[in-house]
Structure 1
Amino acid sequence: MANPEAGTSGDVAPASGCEYQVFLNFRGFDTHHGFTDFLYNHLVDVGIRVFRDDDELKVGEVIGENLVGAINNSIIYIPIFSKNYASSKWCLLELAHIVNNVSNSKDKKSIIPIFFNVKSDDVKLKTSVYSNALSEHERKSPDQVKVWKVALAKVGEIKGSNVEENTRDYPLDDYRELSRKIVSLMGGLPLAIEVVGSLLKYKEDKTIWEEKIIKLTEVLDKGILDVLKISYDELDEFQKKIFLDIACFFFNEKKTDAIFFNEKKTDAIYMWESCKFYPRGGIEVLTKRCLIKTLDDDKFWMHDHLIALGKQIVYEENQDDPAKRSRLWNAEEALQIIGTEERKDKVQAIEIDGLDDNIEVKSEDFKSLPNLRFLRLGHGTFVEDFSKCRSNLRWISWRHPENFRANNIYLDRLIVFKLDISILEDDSKAWDLIKRARNLKVLSLTRCHGITRIPDFSKCLGLEKLTLKRCSRLKRIDSFIGDLRLLIKLEVERCNVLTNVEGLHKLRSLEYLEVIGCTSLGRFIGASATNIPDDCSINIEGIITNRYGEETLPDTSNEV
C-alpha cells in the first residue's frame, strides 16, 4: 500500500518488517466499506501503524505465515464483532490466534473489542446470533469450534465499545488533526496514547481537546511520568488512594518464594470497602482510564511507568522524611520508622521484607502508627503486651513468621489475614491474631506445615473466603466451620493428609468449593455433594461441576 503506516496481508513478511501497533480483526462483508474503513483511515491519519486484512479474500483452511507474522508483530488487537462475524471461520481463526498471542505476551499486549450492532452476550454465545453459526462450523470442525468458543467467551467479557450504524457514533473529521497532535506529542508511545486517549473518550467539546493539548505541551519536557500524572490528577481522593495502593503493593512484581505478591483483586476490595474507599466504582474508573488492568486470575496488572508514577507521588509527599509519607515499601526505611517513638499519623501502609535483621513489632509501634491499615511482614514477630493498644489494621500478610511472643492483641478491624511458610503449631499464641478478629473476611493459610487442624476462628462469623494451601500436616477441619454461615468461597489445595471437612453441609451461602491435589478429600466431597447448596460450583482437580455432578463452564469474567 502507498501509506507506510498501514499494512495488508500481501505486504507483510512473516519474520521481519515493521511492528504494528494495531491489528484489525473484522468481517469484511459486514463492515469493510463502512465502519472498518473509517476506523482504519482515522488511525492511520493520526500516525498509528495498523494492519487490516480482508477475510473475504482468504482461501484454504489455515492462517498463512504472513498473517501469523502480522498478528505476532502487533501490540493492540481490535476485533470488530458484527452480525455475520461468527459465520467466518477466518475471523474465528484469527481471534483464537490473537487470544493465544495475548495470553503468552506477559501482559504486554491487549484486546479492545468493538461490538458493532451486536451485544457482548451475542459474542459470549448466550444468544442465537453467534451460537447458530458455531453450530454450523461444528459439523465440519468440532475440535476447532471448542477453541473458538473459549476465545469468544474470553473476549466477550472484556469491556469494549458499543457502536450502532450511524455517523454520530464515529469520531468527526474535525478531530483528526487534534488526534494527530496528541499522538505526535506522545511520541507514539502506546501507554501514553492509551492513557491520554481515555481522558478524551466521549468528549465532544473541541475546547477540551485543545486545552488538553496545551497542558500536554507544558509538561512534556518533564518526562513521561508527568504526562501520565495528568490522568492521576483527575481522579477523586478515593480513586487516588486505590491507585497508590496498587502501585506500591498490589502490582505485577514477582518475588521468589512469596505467594502473597500479586494479590487478588477481590481481597483488596474487602480492605478498601472497610476503609470506605468505594473500590468497585474506583476500579472501574481506573480501568477505563487505562491505569490498571485485571488479569484472568483476578490479579491486578499495572505498567512499569505507572508503578513508577505511583511511587514518585508517594515520595514527593515528603522527600526528606519517610515518616511523613503515606506508604513505605523500602524495608530499611520502614524498619527505621517503626523503631521511633514519634507519632506517625501519615503512614497508612508498610511492607518490611527481605531483611536479615530480626524484626520485632511492639505495642508502642502500633501506638505510634494510629492510621496503619496495611502491614506486609517477612520474617519477624510480635512481642510484649498489647492490652492498651487498639489497632486500625485491615490487612496483615505475614511470611516466615517467627516465635510469637505477644499478649492481649486485639485486631478488631482486621479484614484480611494471610500467613505463608509457617511452622507455627496448633497451640501457638499467634492464632490469637484471628481468634478475636470478628470482622475478618478473608483468611489464607499457605504452607503452614506446623498445624494438624485449623485454628479456632469460630468467632469470625463474617468470614467469606477461606484458603488452605499446601499445609502438609493438616488432617481435619473442625465442625465449627459450619457456623460460618456467610462463607462464600472455600479453597483447599494439596493438603495431602486432609480427609474430611466437618460441617460442610451447613454452609448455606457457599458459592464456590475448590479441592485440588487432595485425593481423599476429593472423594469425600464427591460422595457428599448432595449436601452442598444447590447453586454452589464444585471444582475437584480442575473439573468444575455443580452439586449434581453436572459440568459447568469455567469463569471467564476477567479480561484476557
Structure 2
Amino acid sequence: MALVRAADPQTSFVSSTSGYCRYHVFLSFRGQDTRKTFTDHLYTALVNAGFRTFRDYDEVERGEGIKPELQKAIKHSRTSVIVFSKDYASSRWCLDELVMILERKRKTSDAHVVLPVFYDVYPSHVKKQTGSLAKAFARHQKTQPLPKVKAWREALAEVADLAGMVLQNQAHGYESKFIKKIVKVIGDKLSRTPLSVSPNLVGMHSRVERINFWLQRRSTDVGILVIYGMSGIGKTTIAKTVYNSNFRIFEGSSFLENIKEVSQQPNGLVQIQTLLLSDILNGRKMKISNVSEGLIKIEDAISSKRVLLVLDDVDHTDQLDAVFQMKDQFYPGSKIIITTRRARLLKAHQVTEVYAVETLTQEESLELFSWHTFGQDHPIEDYIEYSEKLVDHCGGLPLALKVLGSSLLGESVCLWKSALEKLEVIPNGEIINKLRVSYDSLQDDHDQKLFLHIACFFIGMDKDYIAKILDGCDFYTIVGIQNLIDRCLVIIDRWDKVRMHDLICGMGREIVRLESKEPWKRSRVWHHKDSFKILKEKNGTETIEGLVLDMHMYPTINSNEKVLETNAFSRMQELKLLHLSHVKLRGCYAKFCSGLRWLCWLEFPLDSIPVDFPLGSIIVLEMQYSGLRQVFKGTKPTKLYQRISEAR
C-alpha cells in the first residue's frame, strides 16, 4: 500500500464528508458588475490551470430562490471563490448563495474551502456593511423579512473574517497579477485535500477531542504527540480525523500513511522523504539521491513555515530519523503526530503528549457492528442475541467489529450461529493477519516464544510469578515482557497481573495451531480436548513444550475412563510446563517428564508425592486443593518454590 499524499487538483477526489466533488471551484459573483470583465478573466484562468470551475451563465433574474442546479454545484464543489464587488450585496440571490456556501463549509468541518476576493471593496466594508453595502441593506430592510436580512448580515461578517485576497493590497490594482495570485492560492488549497475516512465514526468525538484541543492551542513550542495502541484499534482513523479538522490552520501539512510498509521497500526512506517534501511544498517535486540529502531539504522546508505532520504506523526510530532528527528543526508552533504500536518508540523527554487508544465500549461496539452489518445503528430484532455475542467476541476492537460485521451482511440467522461456533475454535483469518503484524515485528524468536507461552498458559497470573517460572526455562522474562508491552501485545494491570486482549490471545494460539494439523506435533497444547486425546492415545511427542488439561471439562466421561497413565508423558521429553486439574494418573513416575520446570496439579489425588517423582528440575510446584497429607514419604530434598495448600 502506498503512502497517502496530497491529491493532484486535476484528478477526481472524494471528500470524507460530502462524497464525490464535481467541481474544483464554485464562482459566486454579481453578474451585472463583473461577469464580462474581472470574473470572466478569472474563470478563464482557472479553467486554463486545469480546475473544473462552475459559474452561472444565466443572465436572467432567478425568481424567488436559488436554482436547484446552483445548490448542487455548491454542494459538489471543493472550493468557493466569492467575488465581492460594490453592488454584490444589492443582489439577494448573491446573498442567499453566500449563506448556502457558509452552511456547506460548517457542515463539512472546513473541508469546503471558501476564498473571499475583494475586487473593489475592502473587508471592513463587507464586515460592517458600510458604503455601497449600507445602501443595499437599507433597501433590503424595507422589502425582505428581518430574519433573512439578519442572516445575510451575519454571513457577510463571517466571510470577511476569513483569510481573503484584496485587489489593492496584493496587486496594487493590476488585475492580471491579482488573478495569477488567486489561481496559485486555489492550487495550493486544492493540493491539500481532506483524507478519506469511513462515514460511520462511532465513538470518535470523545477520542479526538483532547487531540484537537492540543492542536488548536496556540503555542510557539514544537509539539510531538504519540498515538499508540494495538493493531486495529483505530489509531489511523483517529489521526485522519484530527488531520482533516486541523490541517488548514497550518501553512503546510502532510499525512504519510503506512510508513512501516513503505520503509521496507527498495529506497523506501527516500520515498517517504520525497512525498513529505511534495506535500509541504504544495506539489513541487524535488529529486533526492539519498537519505542524508533528503534530511537537509526537509529541514529547509519545515524551518520556514508552521506545519502539521502526521507519521502513521511508525515502528522504528530509523523511520523517524529519515524525517527529522530534532524537533527544534521545525518552525515554531509546528505539530507532529505519530501513530505506532510501540509505546516506547520515543524517549519520554522527546514527547509532548501521549494518547493511548482504548477499545470501544459495549454500546459503541454494538453500534459500529450494526452499521457494517445492518446499515443502521442497532441490530435487527431477530439478530440481537447473536449480534451481542459477536460484539463480545470482538472485545471492543473496531477492526474486528468491521470485519465480522461486513462478513455477515445479509446472511441468515442459521449462518450467524454457525459462524459464531467456528469463531470459538478458529479465529477470523483477516483479523488474525492484521493483529499478527505486532508479533512478527518482535525483535527475535525469544520474545515470540515468550509471547506464545503467555498466550497459551499464563494470562491473568502475577508477573513476578511468571518470571520465576520462565526464567527457569532459559527466558529473560522481565525484559521480554517489557518488549511485549511495548508492542501492545500484553498489559500489566494495577494488581501486577499479566493481561492480554482476547483477540491477541486468539492470535497467539492460532499461530501455534497452524504449526501442524496434528495437535501432538504442536509446541503447546492448551485445548483440553486435544490434551485429553493425546494422553489417552499416548501419542505425545518431543515437540510439546507445554500442556494443559482440566478433567472437569469432561463431566460425561465415567470415572474409569478419566484415569490416565503416567507413561502417556514418556515421549514428551521437552515438556517444561504442565497444568493439570482433577487429573488422575496410574503407574510409576520414574520416566514422568524429567524436564518439568512448572507443575501445577490442582486436586492432586494422592496423599503424598511418590518417591520416584522426578522433581529435580522443578522451579515452581503448585498442588492446591490436593489430597496431600504429607509431601513425601521419607526424605526428599529439593530446592522448590512451593505453593502447596491443604486439601479442602
TM-score class normalised by the smaller sequence: 0.3 to 0.5
- Higher helix proportion, which one? 2
Larger fraction in strand: 1
Q: TM-score, normalised by structure 1?
A: 0.41
Q: Taking CA–CA contacts closer than 8 Å with sequence separation of 6 or more, which of the two structures ends up with the larger relative contact order?
A: 2
TM-score, length of structure 2 as denominator length: 0.36
Give the number of the structure whose alpha-carbon radius of gyration is greater.
2
